[in-house]
Structure 1
Amino acid sequence: MSILTFVGAGQMASALSFPVTQNGHQVRLVGTPLDRDIIDVARKTGFHATLKRQLPPKGVKYYQIEEITAALDGADAVLCGVSSFGVDWFADNILPLIPENIPLLSVTKGMIDLEDGSMITYPHYFASKLPQGKKLSINAIGGPCTSYELADGDHSAVAFCGDDIEILRMFKQLFESPYYHISLSTDVIGVECAVALKNVYALGVSLAVGLAQGPDGTGIQHFNSQAALFGQSMKEMKNLLLLMGGHEDNIIYGAGDLYVTIFGGRTRKIGALLGRGFSFDDAISELEGVTLESIVIATRTARSVRRLAEKGIIDLSDFPLLIHVDNIINNGAAVDIPWKSFETEKI
């Protein structure tokens, strides 16, 4: 039996307790300062308030953040379960506490843009934030997987990525189950870039959902326009993946993640509201209290692309959907899909 300490009691981290405990291992679920109520309720009833599922009755112990030292004592591995908004908190408060011999696996999807226009993955960002001289194996999960369906045992196929294939194989043994299927890759940039970008483009495709629904939300859903935007999304995502140094094969994880995100979740909601004619501020107000990581990654990606275009490294016209999404959320533009700019002529 291995002991895994999950830091962050969000939906995905908590859902991962199912395959781990079913494999006979123990999970120590540690809430962040924002998860106090989740941990309190789970301790009393085993029910996860936001995942809306009973967590495994055996093999899960619950800890508040001030009990982190006890939760890490004797652990064989650590899982980072915070959202993009908690990345700096995790880097500043948790990374220094993890012993060098304990590998880290992160569920957080996203990237950070730098002043020179480049972007780095969260694993690389975590590595840059380690105390001087400290080394830590930092790995991540990417791919199409919603937390509630994972908790229900629906078949899911993901990728674990990191620099050391042997550590990835160890993680696979801990997490793999008859319904949780895990591929392994040492192309951290490729996997992490692909799954981060899906947030940008899921919002873009969801604009078509709202346009079909109309201002009152009663219109019939159209699929041609969604499919067209999906295709344009894949084209731009592939170009960005190669630009950032990832292998194009990993686009499959972004494609799957894009597909599942379009069919439900927070990003679909904000995209549909914008498509129906809501201003960005009104759409955000409508979804008050909902964490929207898609806005963060869309802003960062567009900022990176604009900087690279200014340097003449890329042509901004190669990313019309990304730039339109950025103009909507950051410049107050109305939804007006740039259909003509998607057309090509191949000889």
Structure 2
Amino acid sequence: MNHQKIAVLGPGSWGTALSQVLNDNGHEVRLWGNNLEQAKEINEKHTNTRYFKDIILDEKIVAYTDLKAALDGVDALLFVVPTKVTRLVAQQVAALLDHRVHVMHASKGLEQGTHERISSVLTEEIPEHLRGEIVVVSGPSHAEETIVRDITLISAASIDNNEAKYAQSLFSNDYFRLYTNNDVIGVETAGALKNIIAVGAGALHGLGFGDNAKAAIITRGLTEITRLGVALGAEPLTYIGLSGVGDLIVTGTSVHSRNWRAGDALGRGEKLADVEKNMGMVIEGVSTTKVAYELAQQLGIDMPITETIYQVLYENLDPRTGILEIMRRETRAENEF
């Protein structure tokens, strides 16, 4: 692909890792955030030590705190900001953007209150004349591994196949590979909802349970994710792909996952407020649990694992008690959907 100018909105761990991928592919990367000290560090020391202690970034990756300057003349935008501020940042972009661009996002969550997917938020806030169809970049990926150029395969989903192919060409290289997909609902819900199950998997570990329990929560968790996603209009097969079971495995089994680490701490008896404070990063699974619980109640979807994690996070249910309640539920057929 020809040289492209890309504004990456969000200099967190994943935004920084994806900036490096884009830079490796010869594109001009403008990494925007609102932390002056962080931007200064990236530009002067070429490090982002809040997230990566020993990584030196290419000096061609330039950090911005001025959004208007970051957007000037770009070909594409990549949103990698936390779900809770996506709408606000999109509104700011819409007010400043003066030309049509490709719009992608690589965040994983559902908006509280509205229950909307991120692509829906972006579609609402950025006028159609300024963008193509939104592309969702999602799949099994730890920033800590991508930043050291470990092999990573994820999805680029859009209802416009040309836009998905644009993202595919933009990112793909010898260590980072994208597959196109047209099931935006499936890819986004899979990416968001797996964080809930990762919290639960971490809690099982913190409580001292082993691999049997890990396998149980991942497989039954995938069933719950699929139930809700299909009810929202997703294709069932999406959930056995990269953005579904792939992302669930990588997030629900690894210490790299902040959602898993949060659950592990809860299982060991730490309070949620302390876990969030000590993490120093957004734990998307916490807010997504609330949204998914509310959606399940609204749509009449049976999601016992999600409901239990909601009760642990928001109603102070003891995790071990919650596990016993699930195990004592009425028995049923495995393929009962």
* RMSD of aligned Cα (Å): 2.1
2:235 matches 1:233: no
Q: Does 1:248 align with 2:247?
A: no
Q: Distance in 1 between matches of 2:51 and 2:315?
A: 34
Q: What amino acid does structure 2 have at the position aligned with 1:293?
A: E
> Deviations for 1:100-134, whole angstroms, at most 9, x for unmatched residues?
5211111111123667xxx4311112112235x74
Residue identity matched to 1:19: V
1:111 maps to a residue whose letter is L
In the TM superposition, residue 302 of structure 1 has moved relative to its aligned partner by 0.3
Other structure's SS at 1:94 match: helix
Match of 1:216 in 2: none
Q: How does 1:163-312 map to 2 (within 5 A)?
A: 163-212=159-208, 222-251=210-239, 252=241, 253-262=243-252, 263-264=254-255, 265-284=257-276, 287=278, 289-309=280-300
Where 1:344 maps in the other structure, the secondary structure is coil
Structure 2 unpaired stretches of 5+? none
For 1:326, the aligned partner's letter is Y
Confirm or deny: 8 A CA contact 2:135 2:167 kept in the other structure.
Answer: no
What does residue 103 of structure 1 align with? 102
Structure 2 CA distance for partners of 1:290 and 1:172, relative to 1, 3 Å: closer
Partner of 2:41: 41
Q: What stretches of structure 1 of length at least 5 have no aligned partner?
A: 213-220
Deviation at 1:170, TM superposition (A): 1.7
When residues 346 and 127 of structure 1 are mapped into structure 2, their CA distance, relative to the original with a 3 A threshold, is: closer
Query: Offset of 1:279 from its aligned partner?
Result: 4.2
> 1:326 matched to which residue of 2?
310
Q: What residue in structure 2 maps to residue 26 of structure 1?
A: 28
1:269 maps to a residue whose letter is R
CA gap 1:7/1:102 in 2 versus in 1, 3 angstroms: same
User: Counterparts of 1:225 and 1:342 in 2: how far apart (Å)?
Assistant: 18
Letter of the structure 1 residue corresponding to residue 297 of structure 2? R
What displacement does 1:205 show?
Answer: 1.7
Matched pairs, number: 323
The residue type paired with residue 123 of structure 1 is S
Three-state SS of the structure 1 residue aligned to 2:87 is helix
Q: Which amino acid aligns with 1:28?
A: R
Q: What TM-score results when the alignment is normalised by the length of structure 2?
A: 0.89
Query: Secondary structure of the residue that 2:111 maps to in structure 1?
Result: strand
- Shift in Å at residue 80 of structure 1? 1.1
Say whether the 8 Å CA contact 2:47–2:55 is kept in structure 1: yes
Contact 2:98 2:130 in 1 (8 A): no
Instruction: Give the one of 131, 141, 165 matched to 1:136.
Output: 131
1:120 partner SS: coil
